Amino acid sequence: MSVKPVTITITGAGGQIGYALLFRIAAGEMLGSDTRVRLHLLEIPQGVRAAEGAALELHDSAFPLLAHVDVFDDARAAFSGSNVALLVGARPRTAGMERGDLLAANGGIFGPQGAAINAHAADDVRVVVVGNPANTNALIAAAHAPDVPADRFTALTRLDHNRALAQLSAAVGTPVGEIRDVTIWGNHSATQFPDVEHATAAGQSVPALLAARLGGTEATRAWLVDHFIPRVAKRGAEIIEVRGSSSVASAASATIDHVRDWVRGTSSGWTSAAVVSDGSYGVPEGLVSSFPVESVDGQWRVVQGLSLDAFARHRIDASVAELVDEREAVRALGLL
Ligand code: NAX
């Protein structure tokens, strides 16, 4: 059992994903059953009561690993001593809001939060941005934290990754736990590229299995373009349509997967995370883009040397172009 609890800051803790996250973290599912946790819940004033209610329920759950829960409406206090920061709270897009308005509203959240992390978080802080537009929000937060190494800022594409695993599992008839080496490239948006080229199912090539099932490589490409890629990329909209509300438990689960693998390491192939690009695969340096990643010694490393055909290149370039546009837009707004 760890002596000193790990401090985890959760922003938007009074919201839906926050509610789905808190109890799993306190139960030890994120950092393990040997690690005590201290939770810092950050909300805006209107959300504080909901976070306080969640804190009461956390107490009532009597989690042995839960050392402490505090609720804050001040980012500096909430990030004080933070080892893991889950930036979930964001400004949603509302009717009539232009993209620039959305980026500006979120810049007003993620800039100050990045600065508070810079000034008050622990030296080993790890940040994952869930609130949308997640990649660019992470870019803004990182830009306001010049003393924190850029590789500590990430954005969540693990939900997209998990969605891709689930779709492939159903398509090739292999249990989801035996699907490996799928990649989400680019932005957590409809332009993302879920890539199965190097994926395996129980050790067999997924493209080969799909070709055998669908009747050849051309039929496979058509299935990928017409069904698989849009289904994964637009799954969030499908969930809203069916459930009447956006993805919550699956988003919380993916956040837990992301942090668990980051801290404890990946063991069976790679996963996907949006990390600050070092220029790998031609993605401009500094953009927060999703890549195939492995976690080694507590750090994400981009898997190198994967071959990309013209189709993959085109898809990655399109999503990266969107990230470049978002970066230009936030630069123009003075947010970087
Ligand atoms: P909710 O609206 O239920 O909760 C958001 C909470 O954030 C609210 O309680 C609000 O008061 C709080 N908040 C707003 N501004 C804040 C600030 N400056 N500091 C602290 N708290 C603040 O939304 P929820 O369903 O929990 O979704 C949260 C975010 O996750 C949204 O931006 C959503 O778009 C995003 N998602 C990202 C996903 C991903 O894969 N990256 C998938 C799921 C989800 O769509």
Give the span between the Cα atoms of 183 and 163, in whole angstroms.
Answer: 11
Topology (CATH level 3) of domain 6-155: Rossmann fold (3.40.50)
Q: Is the CB of 333 under 6 A from ligand 1?
A: no
Predicted local confidence at residue 101, as pLDDT: 87
Catalytic option among 40, 188, 198, 258: 188
Rounded Cα distance between 59 and 36, Å, is: 14
Q: Which atom from ligand 1 is nearest to the alpha carbon of 129?
A: 41
Residue 40 among the catalytic residues: no
Query: Which residue's CA is the nearest one to ligand 1's atom 10?
Result: 12
Decide: 16 in ligand 1 pocket, CB within 6 A. Answer: yes
pLDDT tens digit sequence for 193-230: 999 999 999 999 999 999 999 999 999 999 999 999 99
pLDDT at 268 over 90: no
| CA–CA separation, 280 and 303 (whole Å) | 9
Note the pLDDT tens digit of each residue in 80-110. 999 999 999 999 888 888 878 889 999 999 9
Residue (of 310, 78, 90, 271) closest to 185 by Cα position: 271
CA-to-CA distance for 316 and 281, rounded, in angstroms?
9
The answer, yes or no, to whether any atom of ligand 1 lies below 6 A from the CB of 179, is no
Q: What are phi and psi of 154, to 5 degrees?
A: -135, 165
Q: Which helix (H) or strand (E) holds 246?
A: none
Fold of domain 158-327:
L-2-Hydroxyisocaproate Dehydrogenase; Chain A, domain 2 (3.90.110)
Give, using CA atoms, the residue closest to atom 30 of ligand 1: 131
**Average pLDDT along the chain:** 96
Domain layout of the chain by residue ranges: 6-155, 158-327
Band (pLDDT 50/70/90 cuts) for residue 2 is low
Place of tokens 């499908």: 238
With tokens 């496979």, the residue in question is: 220
Q: Is 37 exposed, middle or buried (0-12, 13-18, 19+ CB in 10 A)?
A: buried
Nearest-CA residue for ligand 1 atom 41 is 130
Q: What CA–CA distance (Å, rounded) separates 179 from 228?
A: 15
Q: What is the mean pLDDT of residues 44-50?
A: 98
